[in-house]
Chain A
Amino acid sequence: MSSLKRDVKDEDDNSSNPYQNLDKTIVLQETREFNQTLVIPRKCSLILTKILYLLNQGENFTTQEATDAFFATTKLFQSKEIMLRRMVYLCIKELSKLAQDVIIVTSSLTKDMTGKEDLYRAAAIRALCSITDASMLQAIERYMKQAIVDKNPAVSSAALVSALHLSSTAPDLVRRWANEAQETINSDNAMVSYHALGVLVLSRRNDKLSTVKLVTRLSKSHIKSPYSLCLLIRLAAQLCDGDDSEASQPYIDFIECCLRHKSEMVIYEAAHAIVNLRKTARDLAPAVSVLQLFCSSSKAALRLAGARTLARLTTKHPTAVAACAIDLENLISDSNRSVATLAVTTLLATGAESSVDRLMKQISSFVSEIPDEFKIIVVRAIRQLCSKFPRKHQSLAAFLAGMLRDEGGLEYKAAIADAIIALVEENPDAKETGLSHLCEFIEDCEHTALAVRILHLLGREGPKSRHPSRYIRFIYNRVILESGPVRAAAVSAVAQFGAQVPELLPNIKVLLARCQLDEEDEVRDRAVYYSTILETENPQLINDFIVNIPKPNVVLLEKALRDHLLHPEEPFNILSVPAEEVVKETKKPIAEIEVRKPVQMSIEEIYAEQLAKIPGIEKLGPLFKTNLPIDLTEAEIEYRVRVVKHVYARHVIFQFECVNTLNDQILEDVHVRLEVPPEYEIKSIVPCQKLVYNTQDNVFVVVEYPCAFIDSLGSFMATLEFVVRDCDPNTGTPDPGEGYADSYPLEEFEMGCSDQIRARAGGDDWEQTWERAANVPEANDTFVLSQTDVGDAAKAVCEHLGLPNGSISGDAVKEIRGGGIFRGGAPVLVRARLAGSIAGVTMKLSARSPREDVAQLLLAAVG
């Protein structure tokens, strides 16, 4: 009979689930049942479960609905049935987040928590604390203290955990209850002593000395609970972190002792702490051997814990990890892909050059089975390997090419292409092979975005290779076979060859002529554009419009274009848009799953929104450059102020970022009094109305530059002026009454040449550019610099001119080559030769610019 019944139920699955298709309004109506004089526990319990289920599924309850349900639920306190009462507590906890006037149940819950029924008490305490706020705390404080020292472990735990939760709103509470917590720390019940330890730790959070005492005492007593031990290890580790003195030795001994504990949880905690603390490989040995054991455990969590912690060691102690190579190799074929991927990346990071080939072979056997996101991690690891062992490029590139041919999504393919592109860029030996792999790949690439990128790379790198002609076929095939965007990219790439390889030019012209018949507008446009420029055979034109095109920052370009649409009468000047900065990717440890990359934004983008609030800002034209912030105060001081210089063609906006670090003060009407150098003119000031504790706000000062560029160098004196009002440190409410005016002097800051120039290092073709500029005005001077080392001197000069350090070349005689655009759009080229002698460093500086005053300014900036 029973089996028959079950079959019927299984066929109609939904009927077995009383919670399927619940309707909120119907359930809420059902709560009327609670008003009956004699409630039926089972029925009411089911209704409460339904409410909880709906809440858990994310159903929205309005405040009114929640309040009604809450009040209906409170009626159920008349029933003594245990299960029902427990569900009532659960409902109170969940609904109290949404409903109003929840404190109404305080007395019922207080009665339950002090009552006789043990099964009520623990849960009642937790429910009560979830509806209590700091103001009501006093009423129940006495009961809570009693509950902490209660014999019943559940009650004691409930009170201690509630104390932890409450301390987020009432920080001093845990200190008042610390004595009771202290009493229970030696409880026989593991969880009670764990929770008591938690409360004690929190109460001593800001008191290092008493934390030291606590840890010292407890590390000698025999704590049974593994959770408590884990917490204690973390505390001990924190105490000796960064402390190399003798004082930390007892903690280290304690942690090492925990390596021999019987619970794996504690062993791992101790090993993890040691790995992250120790400096020398010898000290690490016991921890590493424990992790090594974990790697061969049957539990995946243990293997992951072991592999992950070993992976973290790779950057600091590659040799210690290398000793575990065999264990890690066994993990390559692990059924848990997180473990396998970690093992592979760790091995790649620590392996010697000789083992690379063998490893690659092993990886190729498993790589096809893992999901794309792990493949990407492996690809990144291989990419790092390419730069680590440049000599291995052949086999690595071949491997990457093999992966490229396999099935995979865009992101995966893009990661491989990235790796090969990086290889091509970093390693000149690998260029030819890398490029030919990419050529092969675009023959059969379904991702348009990727094909376009690779074509662009071929256009850039191909002409510089030994046999440029061989790439033409691959690129031109795209023109015949692919979709519009790829064809357009191919045309641009072909044109690059025409521009840079004269012997190919006639053929390229023919190809481009054919492309002019394309059906796609963009392809035709490009073909016409490139043909026309190539026909002129004017090297300057070809260089400026095909080979070396400045790339503007895309985000700012978009913004500039949008501004332009608002004022279409003015012609658009692309030079006004800051060029894209080449950001070197920072090296990071490769063996890490799940690393979030912060979005890279240029400084101009970060500030654009804040600047938009200044009235009349649109009249200043497009932003030319934003400089890095400069501190105008000491770090540890009442008010912290930084200045950011936003440079426009004829104006500069000083943004003073102010932070008030006094929690008992509010600053009102904050502005900056600025003393400007002669010829400068202050246009407007945007003060900050109110500066509250620890919140950054800005004061803006708009200043017009002097007419002559040469006058723009100078220094500014600033004073912060404001009205102080005292306030309550806790609530931030200002005291009644008037405040008083006060001021605060800030450090002086400069307007230099580097602030007003967007500079870049000279490229390969710098020499030709310099020669071409032979007929523009030039300024020359010779300087004797105060530095004694040529390298230092060169760096200092670069800093003055705003040039990156990459523009320095040469050994004994340093040469600086660079160029840039001055605010207002005047291009400028700089060359400096520095030579050291016993007397000091001598420098000959030349600057060429169509605006002679700009060239003069550059010299003045150094002098």
Chain B
Amino acid sequence: MVHTTMEGSLFEPTLYIVKGMCILDYEGNRILAKYYDKDVLPTTKEQKAFEKNLFNKTHRANAEIIMLDGLTCVYKSNVDLFFYVMGSSHENELILQSVLNALYESVSLLLRRNMERRVLMENLDAVMLAFDEICDGGVILDADPTSIVSRAALRTEDVPLGEQTVAQVLQSAREQLKWSLLK
């Protein structure tokens, strides 16, 4: 586990800043989680226990940041989704906060602002890609939501007609009409 040094001391000059990121649902169940340091919560069992504990301490009070089990955890929630980014307790909180913002904003863009568990599950593949684009093995890869999304939202819209809403059908019909007119 991470040990908090008792004397205040300098931050370590390292790029390995993120210890973990996760998205939990409204009951504290894991939707997606990644841990990047093999010394921090090495087993799934420990991770899930930590997540439960974290959720219990954070889901009611929206206080943005908490110190738990030697980790600094920043968090943000929306309806039934809870986003967390974890770093060592001896780390610049604001860097972690910037990673959380990147995660939250990217997912929000991917889900077209429909931040709900149901929508997220439908786009789970894209969210997994976003995770992969934000952090690679603990190193912040990118923190700009638009560039992250440009590399994670790759789905070509091939939704069958039956599953589209009326509005969507109308929209695409309008598009097609426009293109045919422009030709």
Contact = CB atoms under 8 A, between A and B. Distances in A.
Interface of A: 1-2, 5, 9-10, 13, 16-19, 42, 45-46, 48-49, 52-53, 56-58, 81-83, 86-87, 90, 93, 119, 122-123, 126, 154, 157-158, 161-162, 164-165, 191, 194-195, 198, 201, 226-227, 230-231, 234-235, 237-238, 241, 264-265, 268-269, 272-273, 275-277, 299-302, 304-305, 308-309, 312-313, 315, 335-339, 371, 588-589, 592-596
Nearest to A225: B143
B1 interface: yes
Given A161-B139, A299-B64, A336-B63, A86 B154 contact: yes
A302 B94 contact: yes
B40 to A, nearest CB: 14
A304 B93 contact: yes
A1 B10 CA distance: 59
B7 to A, nearest CB: 8
Contacts of A201: 13
Given A18-B121, A241-B10, A119 B154 contact: yes
A301 B97 contact: yes
A83 B136 contact: no
A174 B129 CA distance: 27
Contacts of B126: 83
Interface in B69-105: 69-70, 74, 89, 92-98
B154 to A, nearest CB: 4
A338 B65 contact: yes
Interface string B52-63: 000001000101
A474 to B, nearest CB: 38
A711 B65 CA distance: 66
23 contacts: A2-B167, A10-B118, A17-B117, A58-B44, A161-B141, A165-B136, A198-B139, A237-B11, A241-B10, A273-B10, A277-B10, A300-B63, A301-B65, A301-B94, A302-B93, A337-B63, A338-B65, A338-B66, A371-B57, A588-B6, A594-B68, A595-B4, A596-B70
B37 interface: no
B4 A596 contact: yes
A424 B69 CA distance: 32
B115 interface: no
Interface residues of B, number: 66
A241 B12 CA distance: 12
Contacts of B9: 276
Contacts of A309: 8
Nearest to A267: B94
Contacts of B68: 594
A119 B150 CA distance: 9
Given A234-B10, A276-B9, A264 B94 contact: yes
Contacts of B92: 230, 265, 268-269, 272, 305
Nearest to B47: A58
Of A82, A161, A275, A593, most buried by chain B (CB within 10 Å of CB) is A161
B141 A300 contact: no
Nearest to A302: B94
B128 interface: yes
Interface of B: 1, 3-4, 6-13, 15, 30, 32-34, 44-45, 47-48, 57, 61, 63-70, 74, 89, 92-98, 117-118, 121-122, 124-126, 128-129, 132, 136-137, 139-144, 147, 151, 154-156, 158, 165-167
A194 B47 CA distance: 30
Q: For chain A, what secondary structure do more than half of its interface residues adopt (helix, strand, loop), or is it mixed?
A: helix
B30 A237 contact: no
A226 B94 CA distance: 11
Given A161-B136, A336-B64, A596-B1, A305 B10 contact: no
B139 A2 contact: no
A45 B69 CA distance: 37
Interface pairs A-B: 7 shortest CB-CB: A58-B44, A312-B8, A300-B64, A336-B63, A234-B13, A2-B165, A198-B15
B124 A19 contact: yes
Contacts of A312: 7-8
B129 A86 contact: yes
Contact of B33 (A56, A226, A338, A589): A56
Nearest to A264: B94
Contacts of A237: 10-11
Question: Which residue, of A42, A198, A304, A315, has the highest number of chain B Cβ atoms within 10 A?
Answer: A304
B82 to A, nearest CB: 16
A336 B15 contact: no
A857 B34 CA distance: 65
A45 B158 CA distance: 13
B119 to A, nearest CB: 9
B118 A17 contact: yes
B30 A81 contact: no
Contacts of B12: 234
Nearest to A275: B8
B94 A305 contact: yes
A49 B65 contact: no
Contacts of B140: 191, 194, 227
Contacts of A19: 121, 124
A119 B156 contact: no
B32 A230 contact: no
A198 B118 CA distance: 39
Contacts of B48: 58
Nearest to A316: B8
A9 B118 contact: yes
A195 B129 contact: no
A336 B96 CA distance: 17
Contact of B137 (A165, A300, A315): A165
Contacts of A339: 63
Nearest to B126: A83
Contact of A83 (B69, B70, B156): B156
B83 to A, nearest CB: 14
A42 B158 contact: yes
Contacts of B57: 371
B15 A195 contact: yes
A162 B44 CA distance: 25
Nearest to A127: B132
Contacts of B61: 335-337
A234 B12 CA distance: 7
Contact of A164 (B15, B94, B124, B155): B15
Contact of A268 (B34, B94, B142, B167): B94
B10 A52 contact: no
Contacts of B15: 161, 164, 194-195, 198, 231
B127 to A, nearest CB: 10
Nearest to B89: A594
Given A18-B121, A335-B61, A336-B63, A164 B44 contact: no
Contacts of B137: 161, 165
Contacts of B151: 119, 122-123, 154
B139 A45 contact: no
Given A2-B165, A277-B10, A596-B3, 10 more contacts: A13-B118, A157-B142, A161-B15, A161-B139, A231-B13, A272-B11, A273-B10, A305-B93, A309-B8, A594-B4
Instruction: Point out which of A42, A56, A227 has the most chain B C-beta atoms below 10 A from its C-beta.
Output: A56
B167 A594 contact: no
A162 B136 CA distance: 9
Contact of A2 (B7, B33, B154, B166): B166
Nearest to B48: A58
A49 B165 contact: no
Contacts of A588: 6
Contact of A300 (B47, B65, B167): B65
A548 B23 CA distance: 59
Given A56-B32, A238-B10, A230 B95 contact: yes
Contacts of A234: 10-13
Given A57-B30, A83-B125, A191 B89 contact: no
Contacts of A592: 4, 6
A48 to B, nearest CB: 8
Contacts of A90: 128-129, 132
